Structure 1
Amino acid sequence: MRMSTWIRQHVAALRALLVLTAITGIVYPLAVFAVAQLPGLKDNAEGSLIERNGVTVGSSLLGQSFTDGKGNALVQYFQSRPSAAGSSGYDPTSSGASNLGPENIVDSAPDKTGLLTTVCTRSKTIGELEGVDGGRPFCTPGGVGAVLSVIGPRETNGTIDHPEKVVSVNEFCSVTTTPFLPEYKGVKVECAAEGEDYSHGLLIPIRGAAPAKSAVPADAVTASGSGLDPHISPEYADIQIARIAKARGISPDQVREVVEAHTGGRVLGFMGESRVNVVELNLDLDAKYPFRA
């Protein structure tokens, strides 16, 4: 007795299901696992984990924060770049960027800062920590974005030649009563009132007298796209050497030698920039020159 078309179709479907299950559910995973065990691939496949005395202390692929419980830098360690991954940074389950763009120059409140003020504040803090000039273009000496809202009748080309009111939008009256600029086009500059909207004015960033290239590198004040980058630039590492040497009671040359050992060149010789792995660097420092409080 011949099987009906309906039965033949379902038997064929069952055979296809069994074959594809074997291939995609057993053969393929085993093949991938076998390839991942090849020399040169195994470490990356297993997460590039770092162990010390039998304890996993991190991964060479994931950055970490080297700060105390209040977020202050631990002086004996090289500091990583900022991270927007999670509430405290470097959270692998919340990988991502801040999503703040270059036009984000106005703070909505003293504790809700835009990208410009965030960068200015970080640069000032790092400058004080490392003993270098943390000033940057378009930043006030107090470490916020130097932006004015110029209010008044606009000319046909969009400018305001005769302002009626000028406000330093990122310097709030509850924080400061002395704006970074005394006056603009003959009009006294006022501090901003919290909660007030000055978007109807013409927003004008003020460059200031800071050098075009800050002593604090860009990677020291901006987060990576993933928020998990374990690397910093050699320039950022360099301004931290003096602090590390003093904290650990060794010479700057000894610290520089360890830095160089953990500095990698461009990928394949032409992609990206040189970089320093902060996690591996700090672990090596602890092993060679332990910190004694």
Structure 2
Amino acid sequence: MPTLRSGRQLVAAVRAVLLATVVLGLVYPLVMVGLAQLIAPSRADGSLVTRDGSTVGSSLVGQAFTSEAGDALPQYFQSRPSASDYDGAASGGSNLGPNSSDLVGAITERREQVAAFNDVTPDQVPADAVTASASGLDPGISPAYAELQVARVAEARGASPSDVTALVDGATHGRDLGFIGAPYVNVLELNLALDERYGTAG
């Protein structure tokens, strides 16, 4: 009798595992994908941004605007640093704490580089210009960091700072639902607007 009861319990357990696998591993994901495609198809597909038939990035993922040698291009607004080099497969931060000498050194070096690149003093450089987001994929920068870059981009583009500022305003997004997070400027959106208006040569 105990053996029979144990056999029934084993069968019931296997059935429960199989049912949970089908429902949670197959049915539920497919339903969620279907709902996502119905409610927000663009976001479900990765919020890809295309120009002239080619995918140039995602509005949800940051990217670098550098030359082939890795130098920041002066005619483009620069994203915040990324501990993963904007690689979605390696998303994450540096895991260095505020007492890390490596982190302090990196921030100091970045601050000096950003200040020199934008012809400002180091104390004018905002925090997001020298620190990576937790994911390393943040697509936006603070309005303060965008404002810091306006003069440099305007000069490189042969444009007036006021015209570039207007483009910054157009790429600025407010808080989600009016109270979540902070306002940000989508860098890819802004740089594409620059190219559309002034051309890609800069």
Q: TM-score interval w.r.t. the shorter chain?
A: 0.7 to 0.9
Give the structure 1 partner of residue 46 of structure 2. 47
How far did 1:35 drift? Answer: 0.7
SS at match of 2:55: strand
Give the structure 1 partner of residue 180 of structure 2. 271
Give the structure 1 partner of residue 118 of structure 2. 130
* Paired residues of 1:231 and 1:278 also in contact (CA < 8 A): yes
1:23-63, Cα deviation, whole Å (9 max, x unpaired): 34553333222211223x22221111111122111111110
* Paired residues of 1:262 and 1:277 also in contact (CA < 8 A): yes
* Paired residues of 1:248 and 1:291 also in contact (CA < 8 A): no
Runs of 4+ off more than 6 Å: 4-15
Q: Larger helix proportion, structure 1 or 2? A: 2
1:152-198, Cα deviation, whole Å (9 max, x unpaired): xxxxxxxxxxxxxxxxxxxxxxxxxxxxxxxxxxxxxxxxxxxxxxx
C-alpha distance in structure 1 between counterparts of 2:24 and 2:97, whole Å: 42
* Paired residues of 1:247 and 1:291 also in contact (CA < 8 A): no
Give the structure 2 partner of residue 237 of structure 1. 146
Does residue 281 in structure 1 map to residue 190 in structure 2?
yes
Structure 2: where are the runs of 5+ without partners? none
Give the structure 1 partner of residue 67 of structure 2. 68
How far did 1:102 drift? Answer: 1.9
Which amino acid counterpart does residue 37 of structure 1 have in structure 2? Q
TM-align CA RMSD: 2.3
Which amino acid counterpart does residue 63 of structure 1 have in structure 2? G
C-alpha distance in structure 1 between counterparts of 2:95 and 2:14, whole Å: 48
C-alpha distance in structure 1 between counterparts of 2:7 and 2:130, whole Å: 67
How many residues in Structure 1 have an aligned counterpart in Structure 2? 199
Q: 1:20 to 1:258 in 2, by over 3 A?
A: same
Q: 1:11 to 1:83 in 2, by over 3 A?
A: closer
* Paired residues of 1:62 and 1:230 also in contact (CA < 8 A): yes
How far did 1:104 drift? Answer: 2.0
C-alpha distance in structure 2 between counterparts of 1:246 and 1:274, whole Å: 26
TM-score, length of structure 1 as denominator length: 0.61
1:73-98, Cα deviation, whole Å (9 max, x unpaired): 1011000111111xxx1111211212
Structure 1: where are the runs of 5+ without partners? 106-113, 135-213
Which amino acid counterpart does residue 95 of structure 1 have in structure 2? S
How far did 1:251 drift? Answer: 1.2
Which amino acid counterpart does residue 95 of structure 2 have in structure 1? N
Which amino acid counterpart does residue 79 of structure 1 have in structure 2? Q
C-alpha distance in structure 1 between counterparts of 2:14 and 2:124, whole Å: 68
Q: 1:83 to 1:5 in 2, by over 3 A?
A: closer
TM-score, length of structure 2 as denominator length: 0.86
SS at match of 1:126: helix
Q: Larger strand proportion, structure 1 or 2? A: 1
How far did 1:271 drift? Answer: 2.4
Which amino acid counterpart does residue 61 of structure 2 have in structure 1? L
Which amino acid counterpart does residue 98 of structure 1 have in structure 2? S
C-alpha distance in structure 2 between counterparts of 1:237 and 1:277, whole Å: 10
Task: Decide which structure has the larger Cα Rg and report it.
Answer: 1
C-alpha distance in structure 1 between counterparts of 2:104 and 2:7, whole Å: 69
Give the structure 2 partner of residue 119 of structure 1. 107
How far did 1:70 drift? Answer: 2.9
Q: 1:249 to 1:19 in 2, by over 3 A?
A: same
